[in-house]
């Protein structure tokens, strides 16, 4: 069962209380929904991670963690879900955001996309101006499309997790009922299936 496996990976309440890094934040990181897997907390964590995964730059996991604390949804799920956007998937995601924004606004960009974005560690002070110039070159369609795509992905993730959780519970309940019937009536026709 995936829930039991994930539960073994997550910290328990006592280890959280003893952790010196968590103690710095006081009770903010001790809310039960931040660490326990239930359907609403997991669905919310997935939605937060999908939304924050489109944030440009290296702030995806940090923003997902902060938003998970504010919204009181599962923090590890939120942080790990941001991994869907990576160097391989970010270009198609940003292109889809641009196309969505272009379709919604009915406009395009006349500026050429800045090709000289150079994010090396020796020029770290120029990162923000370069990213602002790059976003400016993409224009309004990209910014609007990015926000819309983030909201769409978050909604699909939230309701998808709720639906999958419901299907899993219904199937588990039916299997449990079938096992009970088989134990109650050994040798009956229910035993053959």
- 183, pLDDT greater than 80: yes
Q: What is the domain extent for residue 84? A: 2-192
Q: Look at the chain and report how many structural domains it folds into.
A: 1
Q: How far apart are CA 147 and CA 134, in angstroms?
A: 17
Which of the pair, 125 or 104, is modelled with greater confidence? 104
Q: Check: CB of residue 33 under 8 Å from CB of residue 70.
A: no
Q: How far apart are CA 122 and CA 104, in angstroms?
A: 39
- Record the pTM: 0.70
Q: What is the per-residue pLDDT for 4?
A: 67
Q: How far apart are CA 88 and CA 94, in angstroms?
A: 11
> Average pLDDT of the chain?
79
Q: What is the per-residue pLDDT for 58?
A: 75
């Amino acid at each position: 069962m995936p829930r039991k496996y994930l539960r073994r990976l997550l910290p328990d309440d006592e280890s959280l209380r003893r952790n010196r890094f968590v103690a710095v934040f006081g009770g903010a990181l001790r809310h039960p929904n931040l660490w326990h897997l239930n359907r609403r907390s997991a669905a919310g964590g997935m939605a937060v991670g999908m939304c924050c995964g489109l944030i440009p730059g290296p702030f995806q996991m940090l923003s997902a963690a902060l938003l998970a604390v504010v919204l009181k949804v599962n923090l590890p799920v939120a942080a790990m879900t941001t991994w869907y956007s990576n160097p391989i998937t970010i270009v198609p995601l940003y292109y889809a955001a641009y196309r969505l924004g272009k379709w919604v606004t009915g406009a395009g960009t006349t500026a050429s996309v800045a090709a000289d974005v150079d994010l090396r560690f020796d020029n770290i002070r120029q990162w923000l101006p370069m990213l602002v110039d790059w976003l400016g070159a993409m224009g309004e369609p990209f910014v609007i499309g990015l926000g819309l795509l983030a909201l769409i992905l978050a909604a699909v993730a939230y309701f998808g997790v709720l639906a999958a959780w419901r299907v899993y519970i219904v199937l588990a309940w039916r299997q449990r009922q079938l096992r009970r019937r088989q134990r109650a009536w050994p040798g009956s026709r229910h035993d053959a299936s």
